[in-house]
């Protein structure tokens, strides 16, 4: 049961004895999947298994499941010879050997997951992009963008239309060093109007920079996290509007 989860990310628990539980209400593509799809039930952890070890077992299996289901990678993760030795350790429950097998699986699986996230799904690129554009570190672009949208955003909020703002990012990019930015980053960069729960007198009260996050990286940049980014951008845009007025 343990080895199946640790090496395959699969749960075989016909008698509901395993301490790793699946939340069927959370879909694999949800941004909450990493934290909430598979959870630890401490009441089912055997006395012979330290809680920290149980948490490691949970983490390793979650990593394998994520690699398979979210990242679409079916290649071997733990080498066969390591896997076979580990299965024996899990089967006979030798304390020292069991921990050694688990540590190996943890190290190999963690490294593989990080490699996939950073190289295949370009996590580092997106992290830098969020810093540059939603945390406004790319000063020349932000200044050019705000100058381009000032006329539209100065209008009453009810007269503001998103399609009139659609080209402002490309215009600002071409006027700055951002024109050399990674094409995928520019495709994900967007503008939006935040209508819900906000009183607005001008477009400055609604305008936000956005960055479209999808695929496995959304477990890092969750909806909640992106909302915080948008709030920071909103504060800046509103204050900029007051400066122009």
Q: Encoding tokens for residue 96? A: 């020292």
Task: Return the SS3 of 77.
Answer: coil
Kindly calculate the radius of gyration of the chain based on its CA atoms and give it in whole angstroms: 24
Cα of first residue to Cα of last residue in the chain, in angstroms, is 66
pLDDT for the residue 150: 87
pLDDT for the residue 245: 40
pLDDT for the residue 94: 65
Task: Return the SS3 of 127.
Answer: helix
pLDDT string in tens for the chain (245-residue length): 888 999 999 999 999 999 999 999 999 999 999 999 999 999 999 998 889 999 999 999 999 999 999 999 999 999 998 888 888 777 766 666 778 889 999 999 999 999 999 999 999 999 999 999 999 899 999 999 988 888 888 888 888 888 888 888 999 999 999 999 999 999 999 998 876 545 667 788 888 899 999 999 999 999 999 989 988 888 888 776 545 44
Per-residue model confidence as pLDDT tens digits over 166-180? 888 999 999 999 999
pLDDT for the residue 201: 75
Whether pTM > 0.95 for this model: the answer is no
pLDDT for the residue 92: 66
Which residue is listed with tokens 């996290």?
A: 225
Q: Encoding tokens for residue 109? A: 């699986």
Question: In angstroms, rounded to a whole number, what is the distance separating the alpha carbons of residues 152 and 138?
Answer: 22
pLDDT for the residue 131: 94
Per-residue model confidence as pLDDT tens digits over 87-138? 877 776 666 677 888 999 999 999 999 999 999 999 999 999 999 999 989 9
Q: Check: CB of residue 29 under 8 Å from CB of residue 70.
A: yes
Write down all domains in the chain, each with its CATH number in brackets: 2-120 (no CATH), 123-244 (1.20.120.1900)
pLDDT for the residue 244: 46
Q: What is the DSSP letter of 156?
A: B
Cα–Cα distances in angstroms (integers) from residue 83 to residues 80, 94, 181, in the given order: 5, 16, 43
Q: Check: CB of residue 19 under 8 Å from CB of residue 78.
A: no
Other C-beta atoms closer than 10 Å to the C-beta of 213 total: 20
Question: In angstroms, rounded to a whole number, what is the distance separating the alpha carbons of residues 89 and 54?
Answer: 15
Cα–Cα distances in angstroms (integers) from residue 159 to residues 71, 162, 187, 202, in the given order: 43, 10, 27, 9
Question: In angstroms, rounded to a whole number, what is the distance separating the alpha carbons of residues 67 and 72?
Answer: 6
- Residue 211 dihedral angles phi and psi, to the nearest 5°: -140, 115
pLDDT for the residue 241: 59
């Amino acid at each position: 049961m343990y080895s199946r989860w640790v090496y395959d990310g699969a749960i075989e628990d016909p008698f509901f004895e395993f301490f790793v539980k699946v939340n069927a209400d959370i879909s694999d593509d949800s941004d909450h999947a990493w934290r909430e799809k598979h959870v630890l039930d401490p009441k089912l952890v055997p006395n012979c298994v330290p809680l920290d070890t149980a948490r490691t077992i949970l983490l390793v299996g979650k990593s394998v499941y994520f690699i398979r289901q979210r990242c679409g990678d079916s290649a071997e993760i733990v080498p066969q010879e390591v896997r076979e030795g580990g299965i024996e350790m899990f089967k006979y429950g030798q304390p020292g050997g069991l921990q050694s097998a688990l540590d190996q699986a943890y190290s190999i699986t963690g490294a593989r997951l990080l490699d996939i996230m950073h190289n295949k799904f370009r996590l580092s690129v997106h992290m830098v992009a969020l810093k540059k554009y939603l945390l406004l570190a790319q000063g020349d672009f932000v200044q050019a963008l705000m100058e381009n949208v000032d006329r539209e955003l100065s209008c009453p909020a009810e007269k503001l239309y998103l399609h009139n703002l659609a080209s402002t990012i490309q215009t600002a990019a071409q006027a700055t060093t951002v024109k050399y930015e990674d094409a995928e980053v520019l495709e994900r960069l967007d503008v939006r109007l935040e209508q819900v729960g906000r009183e607005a007198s001008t477009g400055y009260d609604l305008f936000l920079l956005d960055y479209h996050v999808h695929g496995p990286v959304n477990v890092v940049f969750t909806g909640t996290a992106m909302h915080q980014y948008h709030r920071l951008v909103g504060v800046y845009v509103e204050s900029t509007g007051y400066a122009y007025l």
